[in-house]
Structures are given as structure tokens and as C-alpha cells.
């Protein structure tokens, strides 16, 4: 979107204390490193935030054309005199207010909010692909789903955007409501509710309470609001009572009535699902351009939102077949030695971990190994959930290497049919991986899953395996 510096200052209640107020801004970032790499630095707005470091310390070196600042211009270091400084009381609040103003420019367009314990990013990617087959579309980058990412996504929308897809995450009660006050979605999707982030919400019911803030924020059915809910998850299905929007449900398996359903699901040797999609707006055969049978739920959710908003079925089928997916999510690679490497290292919780293990078990291989980092933010259930995943791996015939997460391993004299090992870090995990029941190490008969929460950093291990 295109703004003048003076216009931005007016919107956020700031003042241009240095530079030319008529300077044009076309893009916004909170990461000073992005500015140096961008082709259009002359129209950049830098938002210095207070985090581990104070973003104000990077204003002078950022190369930005315009910056927010809660410091006086003279306190920003040796800045270029041409730098436009918009002084505000709080840079994070200014970003929120500017994002909200940008959302107003999209009034009359489709704006979708997506939340849930798992599947948010994949559903966002699939829905963006569907909409893009039918109209100009903009969506969150990777997992830009918090109080910083949502306004940045809105501000990044081109002026001709007709569909905006926003991923919405939460760390506590009230967070989704806040994001909805900025993004003001007219369509909301809740993928599922389960035991993710229970350390922050206290219980699965607390997770459901927070995720349901999305459907509570939607316009009424008369005003075009649509709530897309997972009929297979009772906690999500119950959210229908919390909204005046039109309720559209999705599920996998045969369905009657107004459900959007995916049935007759098949999985090929590359983990690519195909299925029959059924809906009140038409249906037909779908081949999904993503791996894992559990992603069919996400496809059904995206299809339901698109079909209910008027996208023709052909565009739905086209979009689901060829999405641009965020990295490190069910990405299947071949190492130079021929081993299958399933990289799902972006994040992990009990639901996504179980689904990834079942996907690994479905790969054609003589030996299957899961290299797992911890599942973070599980609170009091952490030990139990890790042990449950370790047991599931054994039941599926999968060898297990736990990286810094001993709770996956059997307790006491518990017997297992599969091999287990504990690695202190990535180098030891690599050593164990090539020595555990493999001759030659990591050959074409082997399949390896790499998965863990972000704190585990196992994407580095996945890349090392791919690079051999």
C-alpha cells in the first residue's frame, strides 16, 4: 500500500520531526536487515521494536527512508538528515494503528482469519493458492501470525487485493480478539483444537476458549460473516453457538447435509493425498499439492471457505493442486545417498507429531527413524505427552533418536521392539543416525523424519541430511 509520511503520522498520532513529510512509503518492516536486501529502500518504513534488542539502535544503519521512533531524532545516532522520523509514544502501538488503517482500505474485500492448534499455516497457504486462481490475493508470510505479523501482512497487501488471508496465533486469552480488532476478518476458519500451548492456556478447554474469539469477532450472517468450523472436533463444532455468522462445516469422510467433506482418501508413495471433495457448491476429484494424509483436513477447510465465498470449484481444485507452501512442513527430500528425508521441523505439538509419525510409517522403506526434538509449551502434561509419542513410534515400528528430550524414551524396564537413543545435540544425532541399524548408512531403503519445536532448531539437521 502507498502512503505519505505525513499521512502515516496523522494515522498513528505521531509527528514528523525530521525529513520530508511528502516522502512516499510502499512497504513496512520491523527487520532492519530486510531493508538492505530490498530493491525499493527509498520507500521503506522501519518500525524499531523493543525485544531482545532495542530496534532504535539499528535505525541509523538500517538505510530506511522513514522510521517510527519513540526517541527524539537527535537520540537516534548518526542518521542521514534525509531520514524521515515520525515520533510516536510507542512504536508497537503505532504499527498496530497503521495496520488497522490499512485494513480500512480493504473494506468490501474478502478478509479471512485462520486459527487453530495445528494446521494454520498450511490452511493459509492452501487458501491463498485457491483465491489466487480466482482473484488478486495477499496472505501472511510464513507464520506471521502475531501482533507484529498481522499488521505487517495487511500493510503488505497490494492496492488491488481482493482477498486477504491472515494467520492468527495466540499465547493467551484475548490475543485472537486483539488480532481480530486489527484484521477485522469477515470469514473465520478454526482448523482444530488440541493439546498445544497448554502451558499458556491451562487446558484444552482454555485453548478452545481463546481460539473461539475468532468466530465471536465475525460479522453476522446478514452482513456477510462466515464461520468455517471443523465438524470432526467437538470443541470446534461447539463454537457455532458463539457466533451470529453463517456457519459452514468441514470434515473428512462421508458427510450429509451442508458439510464440505473429503472422502475416499488415498495416499501415494510420495505421501501425496487424493480424494473426492463434496460440498453444497459442487465437488469432484482433488489431488493435493502437499504431503501427508492429515493435511486433507486443511484442504477441506480451505475449500469450504473459498466455496462459501463464491470461488468456483475449478479454481478450488486448481489451487489445491499447486500451492506455494511454507518451508519445513512435510517437505520430502532425497539425500545424495538415496535416503528419504521428511522435513517437518518447523514446529511440533502432540497432534502434529503423531500425524508426522504416521506419515513416516506410510513411506515405503525398510527402516524408518524419527529424530525428534522436544515439544515445547505443554506445561504439566509435557512428560506424559512425550512418552505417548515415544510409545506411538514404537507401535509404528519406528526407531527413535531423541535430541535433548529424554521423555520420549522408555521408562525403567519398559520393552520396545524398536531402537532408541538420546542425543545431546545435532552432531551426536547425526552420528547415531548413521550407525543405528544401517548398513550402508542412510541408503535408499531408509526414511528419516526430522521434527521438533522451534527451540530445538532441527531444521539444521534436516538440511545436513539433505546435503548428505
CATH class of the domain whose range is 3-90: alpha beta
For residue range 191-249, list pLDDT tens digits in order: 999 876 566 777 899 999 999 999 999 999 999 999 999 999 999 999 999 999 999 99
- Please name which of 113, 297, 123 lies closest in space to residue 211, comparing C-alpha atoms: 113
Strands 331-334 and 27-29: unpaired
C-alpha cell read off for 166? 491472515
**What pLDDT score does 440 carry?**
64
For residue range 378-427, list pLDDT tens digits in order: 988 999 999 999 999 999 999 999 999 999 999 876 778 899 999 999 99
CATH number for the domain formed by residue range(s) 106-321: 3.40.1190.10
CA distance 196 to 348: 9
Residue 127 C-alpha from the chain's centroid: 12
The model scores a pTM over 0.85:
yes
- Please name which of 452, 451, 455, 429 lies closest in space to residue 442, comparing C-alpha atoms: 429
For residue range 77-124, list pLDDT tens digits in order: 988 889 999 999 999 999 999 999 999 999 999 999 999 999 999 999
- Please name which of 120, 53, 176 lies closest in space to residue 347, comparing C-alpha atoms: 120
Domain 331-467, CATH 3.90.190.20 — does that match?
Answer: yes
For residue range 316-346, list pLDDT tens digits in order: 999 999 999 999 999 999 998 899 999 999 9
**What pLDDT score does 110 carry?**
98
Domain ranges of the chain: 3-90, 106-321, 331-467
pLDDT above 70 coverage of the chain, percent:
97
- Please name which of 407, 405, 391, 404 lies closest in space to residue 357, comparing C-alpha atoms: 391
The 3-state secondary structure of 369-392 reads: EEEECCCCCCHHHHHHHHHHHHHH
For residue range 181-197, list pLDDT tens digits in order: 999 999 999 999 987 65
For residue range 425-467, list pLDDT tens digits in order: 999 999 999 887 656 678 899 999 999 999 999 999 999 999 8
Asked if residues 99 and 89 have their Cβ atoms less than 8 Å apart, the reply is no
Q: Give the other-Cβ count within 10 Å of 467's Cβ.
A: 10
Q: Give the other-Cβ count within 10 Å of 132's Cβ.
A: 20
- Please name which of 379, 412, 384, 386 lies closest in space to residue 400, comparing C-alpha atoms: 386
Please, which residues have CB within 8 angstroms of residue 6's CB and are 6 or more apart in sequence?
16, 21, 22
Local confidence band at 299 (pLDDT 50, 70, 90 cut-offs)? very high
Radius of gyration over alpha carbons of the chain, in Å? 24
Quote the crossing angle between the two packed helices 426-435 and 459-467, to the nearest 10°. 50
SS3 285: strand
Please, which residues have CB within 8 angstroms of residue 76's CB and are 6 or more apart in sequence?
56, 59, 60, 67, 69, 85
Give first-to-last CA distance, the chain, whole Å. 43
Residue 367 C-alpha from the chain's centroid: 31
Query: Which segments of 325-462 are extended strands (E)?
Result: 331-334, 340-343, 367-372, 399-403, 420-423, 446-451
Amino acid at each position: 500500500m502507498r502512503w505519505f509520511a505525513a499521512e502515516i503520522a496523522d494515522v498513528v498520532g505521531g509527528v514528523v520531526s525530521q525529513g520530508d513529510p511528502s516522502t512516499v512509503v510502499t512497504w513496512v518492516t520491523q527487520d532492519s536487515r530486510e531493508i538492505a536486501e530490498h530493491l525499493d529502500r527509498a520507500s521503506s518504513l522501519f518500525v524499531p521494536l523493543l525485544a531482545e534488542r532495542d530496534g532504535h539502535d539499528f535505525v541509523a544503519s538500517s538505510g530506511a527512508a522513514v522510521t517510527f521512533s519513540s526517541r527524539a531524532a537527535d537520540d537516534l545516532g548518526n542518521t542521514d538528515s534525509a531520514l524521515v522520523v515520525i515520533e510516536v509514544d510507542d512504536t508497537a502501538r503505532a504499527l498496530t494503528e497503521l495496520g488497522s488503517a490499512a485494513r480500512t482500505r480493504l473494506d468490501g474485500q474478502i478478509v479471512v482469519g485462520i486459527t487453530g492448534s495445528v494446521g494454520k499455516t498450511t490452511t493459509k497457504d492452501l487458501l491463498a493458492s485457491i483465491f489466487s486462481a480466482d482473484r488478486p490475493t495477499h496472505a501472511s508470510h510464513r507464520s506471521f501470525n502475531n501482533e507484529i505479523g498481522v499488521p505487517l501482512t495487511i500493510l503488505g497487501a497490494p492496492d488491488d487485493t481482493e482477498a486477504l488471508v491472515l494467520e492468527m496465533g495466540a499465547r493467551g486469552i484475548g490475543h485472537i480478539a486483539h488480532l481480530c480488532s486489527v484484521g477485522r476478518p469477515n470469514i473465520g476458519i478454526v482448523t482444530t483444537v488440541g493439546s498445544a500451548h497448554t502451558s499458556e492456556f491451562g487446558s484444552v478447554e482454555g485453548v478452545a476458549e481463546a481460539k473461539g474469539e475468532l468466530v465471536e469477532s465475525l460479522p453476522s450472517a446478514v452482513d456477510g460473516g462466515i464461520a468455517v468450523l471443523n465438524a470432526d472436533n467437538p470443541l470446534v463444532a461447539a463454537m457455532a453457538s458463539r457466533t451470529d455468522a453463517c456457519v459452514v462445516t468441514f470434515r473428512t469422510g462421508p458427510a450429509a447435509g451442508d458439510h464440505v467433506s473429503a472422502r475416499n482418501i488415498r495416499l501415494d508413495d510420495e505421501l501425496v493425498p487424493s480424494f473426492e471433495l463434496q460440498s453444497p457448491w459442487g465437488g469432484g476429484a482433488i489431488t493435493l499439492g502437499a504431503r501427508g494424509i492429515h493435511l486433507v483436513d486443511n484442504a477441506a477447510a480451505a475449500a469450504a471457505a473459498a466455496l462459501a465465498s463464491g470461488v468456483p470449484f475449478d479454481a478450488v481444485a486448481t489451487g489445491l493442486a499447486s500451492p506455494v507452501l511454507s518451508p519445513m512442513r512435510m517437505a520430502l527430500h532425497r539425500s545424495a545417498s538415496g535416503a528419504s528425508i521428511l522435513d517437518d521441523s518447523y514446529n511440533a505439538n502432540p497432534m502434529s507429531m503423531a500425524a508426522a509419525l504416521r506419515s513416516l510409517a506410510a513411506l515405503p522403506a525398510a527402516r524408518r527413524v524419527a529424530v525428534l526434538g522436544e515439544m515445547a509449551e505443554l506445561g504439566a502434561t509435557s512428560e506424559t505427552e512425550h512418552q505417548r509419542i515415544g510409545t506411538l513410534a514404537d507401535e509404528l515400528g519406528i526407531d527413535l533418536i531423541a535430541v535433548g528430550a529424554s521423555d520420549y524414551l522408555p521408562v525403567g524396564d519398559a520393552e520396545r521392539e524398536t531402537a532408541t537413543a538420546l542425543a545431546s545435540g545435532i552432531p551426536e544425532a547425526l552420528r547415531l543416525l548413521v550407525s543405528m541399524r544401517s548398513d550402508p548408512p542412510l541408503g535408499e531403503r531408509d526414511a528419516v523424519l526430522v521434527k521438533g519445536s522451534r527451540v530445538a532448531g532441527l531444521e539444521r539437521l534436516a538440511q545436513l541430511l539433505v546435503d548428505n
